[in-house]
Amino acid sequence: MRIAKICFLCSFIVFAACKKDGTSSNTTSSPPEACRVQINPETGSVIEGRYIVTIGDNTNTRSLSATDLSRYSSNLLERNNIRSSALLQSFGGSPSGFIVALSADEVKRLRTDASISIIEQDRIVALGDCFKVVEPTLITWNVTRVGYGDGRGKTAWIVDSGIDFTHPDLNVDTIRSHSFLSSEPSANDENGHGTHVAGIIGALNNNFGVLGVASGANLVSLKVLGKDGTGTAGAIIQALAYVNANAKAGDVVNISSGEDTVSNILDQQVKNTAAKGIFITIAAGNVAKPAANYSPARVNAANVYTISAVDSLDNFASFSNYGNDVIDYAAPGVSVVSTWKGGQYAQASGTSMAAPHVAGLLLLIGNNIKTSGTAKNDPDGTPDPVAHK
């Protein structure tokens, strides 16, 4: 049986003639050693003069249209002697609010307004996973480990660097996809991370490439990270507001990025989205520390799942954050092969790869996730259960 081969210099793809839902001799039980997961030094950096502001529930702004909410936000600024041009973006949902450029004195004035709930400085969010372009393997060890099935008709909203719109192994919903980066208005992936996450969730059951946990699922690209792998907390909050307005109960949101600190606004957006019956999977983080110290990984709520990483032998990944107080399951996150930008495939490691495995399971069976074994050498002393169909 042949596998798909990629000539990276000439971008030529040869498709193998076999269905992915059968037993494949190419299934790997022990993937090669992972590259070292690096921490991006930019992540968590404060964006000077840029703030995320939420509006109190007493203002009845939840039902406002995007245009009316922007107008309300501008008026709120003006009555506090702040120029309306300082408004950068507004976002709906619960909480609703806006992102704004402010001086220190303007922040002080705004804090005295009874309509304001929370003001937080916006921060940079940056990827820290490692990737290596490789040849695909039809049914990979990680998908075999958690189980897989038919995800057609189900929808996953991927809050990430975008998705390769033309990747032949993915079913991308380009109509509902949206970019929250003014510098990159297309939700097409120019980085690769989001495409990798998308493939783990829903790569097609066809004659080539890899198989996703929920093969053929509709994949909506919500771009919050640019081609350099960086974005802002504010963009993630805007993406969740977009999900609130457009998703339905039973859909899944995957967030394989987050802050290196705590954001009450981001945490609340996650909780309110999940309260609508929308499942949310969140990467635990890659700094080998308690996940409870970081948003949104620290969120505990119904329909919210924080995921740590294991390797092919169920060893707890050395880079993975930990903590039974917030982590729900472990899933494969070491040397995972999935789709990549430009119609390619790549091997990657990180809790970013672990979370979408559980996203795929949630699409298939809802919150009736089973477990199979536990993570070995979990540093908190109580091993996380490994998620399984």
d(CA 29, CA 156): 27
pLDDT band at 131 (very low <50, low <70, confident <90, very high): low
345-369: average pLDDT: 97
pLDDT at 127: 78
d(CA 204, CA 132): 21
24 pLDDT higher than 70: no
Domain 5-37+128-388 and domain 46-124 have a common topology: no
pLDDT (tens digit, 9 = 90+) per residue, 164-215?
999 999 999 999 999 999 999 999 999 999 999 999 999 999 989 999 999 9
89 pLDDT higher than 70: yes
253 pLDDT higher than 60: yes
62 pLDDT higher than 60: yes
Q: Where are the beta strands (DSSP E) in 102-203?
A: 116-126, 130-133, 149-150, 155-160, 178-179
Q: Which of 271, 20, 275, 248 is nearest to 154 (CA)?
A: 248
Catalytic residues: 160, 193, 352
Gyration radius of the chain's alpha carbons: 21
pLDDT band at 38 (very low <50, low <70, confident <90, very high): low
pLDDT at 128: 61
18 pLDDT higher than 90: no
288-317: average pLDDT: 97
Reading the block at residue 191, the tokens are 């980085």
Phi, psi of 281 (to 5 degrees): -110, 140
65-79: average pLDDT: 90
Residue that wins the pLDDT comparison between 91 and 250: 250
Boundaries of every domain in the chain: 5-37+128-388, 46-124
d(CA 267, CA 166): 33
142 pLDDT higher than 50: yes
Q: Which of 1, 4, 11, 382 is nearest to 211 (CA)?
A: 4
Residue that wins the pLDDT comparison between 120 and 25: 120
89-109: average pLDDT: 91
Lowest mean pLDDT among 24-33, 123-132, 245-254, 322-331: 24-33
Residue that wins the pLDDT comparison between 42 and 80: 80
d(CA 187, CA 341): 12
Q: Where are the beta strands (DSSP E) in 298-384?
A: 304-310, 327-332, 336-340, 344-349, 370-374
Helix orientation angle between 351-365 and 193-202, rounded to the nearest 10 degrees: 30
42-53: average pLDDT: 85
372 pLDDT higher than 80: yes
Amino acid making up residue 254 = N
C-alpha pair distances (Å), 77 with each of 59, 73, 99, 106: 15, 6, 11, 9
Q: Which of 263, 185, 249 is nearest to 221 (CA)?
A: 185
d(CA 134, CA 354): 19
Reading the block at residue 107, the tokens are 């922040």
State the CB neighbour count (10 A cutoff) for residue 201: 30
Q: Residue count of the chain, please give it.
A: 389
Class of domain 5-37+128-388: alpha beta
140-149: average pLDDT: 97
CB–CB of 383/371 below 8 Å? no
28 pLDDT higher than 60: no
Lowest mean pLDDT among 2-11, 25-34, 237-246, 292-301: 2-11
State the CB neighbour count (10 A cutoff) for residue 33: 10
Amino acid making up residue 235 = A
Lowest mean pLDDT among 14-28, 48-62, 120-134, 327-341: 14-28
Q: Residue 6: in which H helix or E strand, if any? A: strand 5-7
270 pLDDT higher than 90: yes
94-117 as b/e: b if 16+ CB within 10 A = bbbbbbbbbeeebbeebeebeebb
pLDDT at 138: 81
pLDDT at 300: 97
CB–CB of 37/319 below 8 Å? yes
222-248: average pLDDT: 95
Q: Residue 222: in which H helix or E strand, if any? A: strand 218-223
Q: Where are the beta strands (DSSP E) in 224-335?
A: 230-232, 252-255, 279-283, 304-310, 327-332
- Please give the torsion angle defined by the CA atoms of residues 271, 272, 274 and 280, in that order, rounded to the nearest 10 degrees: -60
- Please give the torsion angle defined by the CA atoms of residues 143, 320, 126 and 178, in that order, rounded to the nearest 10 degrees: 30
Mean pLDDT, the chain, as a whole number?
87
- Please give the torsion angle defined by the CA atoms of residues 350, 276, 87 and 183, in that order, rounded to the nearest 10 degrees: 40
Architecture of 46-124 per CATH? 2-Layer Sandwich (3.30)
Phi, psi of 205 (to 5 degrees): -90, 85
Which residue do the tokens 């939840």 mark?
62
